[in-house]
Structure 1
């Protein structure tokens, strides 16, 4: 599952996991000790925040690789490639060059997903969902940053070659409260797999 902050990735992963009885891999977000400071001063805390996410995601994806080697699938609320997308937006100069060296060494050891379900929504919907979940470190989330992330995801997902990408616009659907919306999401995923 991939998409901008607040689009519904984790929620849908949990629903899919229950339906198909598959284990989940959930991104470690709130455990990042630098994240709250990053949202207060992005330039100062970007590198530390990004390195924490990179190592955390790599550790999780190493477990995914082990599960796959035993014939077990998983449902994840992120793809490892996401890390590079965020780094390309948040890091500059020498920091980005150092990050890329580390990322490139690690990405060769990570499996590509069979399918990336790319969830997207308009900026008003995203900002509303972020406000509704009310995470303390997201309370001052910048609309411009979310818009920039949305644009970056759009460009990135158009160029994914290693995995199939299923695009689902979640702006006007509610797969949590509307069973028909959820059924259509399941049907679209099943049609590809």
Structure 2
């Protein structure tokens, strides 16, 4: 694990990853890395016709996330500056396996492996999940036009895919702590005590890691 904190937040669409990343970035004074979403020119078409536009959509995300992480590694992590991201690049394979047909999935996975083999890995992962009803409610509240046509069945499949992935991640990476947060019972946006609880948990994990700075880019 890297000495400088590199925390990634993951979970299904609409669960609150960016909101939590902003709050933790502000509290710990860590650089905030936000994934590019609405800038993807294929995303609206993807939600209308997943099969037709999945490859273009996933390739755009992969290339942009690769570039973001490459820059973060050079400008922050290698300069001993802490980072918190509202995504983990391995999410690309969660979406690709759900949306790409077999032939395109094989090509995509080859490109993914080449691009990510030297990418910096987070040394802490925060995993947000919730029931489908909660996810739908939060997507509705934030009101992104491109998300209004997302099928509930797709979101439910994605929610289950994330759960399977995170269970496998914990088995494969026992040295990377995963903080699980139940979005049905935790609302860190509306309730300060819920946010304080998350901050306390993250702080404890940073302390256990040993030698990791509690505050960031100072």
Name the TM-score, length of structure 1 as normaliser.
0.97
Q: Is structure 2 residue 179 aligned with structure 1 residue 166? A: yes
SS at match of 2:128: strand
- Alignment match, 1:47: 55
Cα displacement (A) at 1:164: 2.2
Q: Is structure 2 residue 120 aligned with structure 1 residue 107? A: no
Query: How many residue pairs were aligned?
Result: 193
Task: Give the root-mean-square deviation of aligned CA atoms.
Answer: 0.9
| Of 32, 35, 38, the match for 1:24 | 32
- Taking the aligned partners of 1:22 and 1:152, their CA distance within structure 2 comes to 29
Q: Is structure 2 residue 90 aligned with structure 1 residue 81? A: yes
- Alignment match, 2:140: 131
Cα displacement (A) at 1:64: 2.1
| Of 69, 72, 77, the match for 1:68 | 77
Q: Is structure 2 residue 156 aligned with structure 1 residue 178? A: no
- Taking the aligned partners of 1:24 and 1:97, their CA distance within structure 2 comes to 32
- Taking the aligned partners of 2:61 and 2:44, their CA distance within structure 1 comes to 13
Larger mean Cα displacement after TM superposition, 132-141 or 47-56: 132-141
CA-to-aligned-CA distance 1:80-126 (integer Å, 9 cap, x gap): 11111111111112110100110010111211100110011111000
Cα displacement (A) at 1:165: 1.3
- Alignment match, 1:98: 107
- Taking the aligned partners of 2:114 and 2:135, their CA distance within structure 1 comes to 33
- Taking the aligned partners of 1:42 and 1:141, their CA distance within structure 2 comes to 10
| Of 157, 160, 163, the match for 1:151 | 160
SS at match of 2:10: coil
SS at match of 1:159: helix
Which runs of 5 or more structure 2 residues have no equivalent in the other structure? 1-8, 207-218
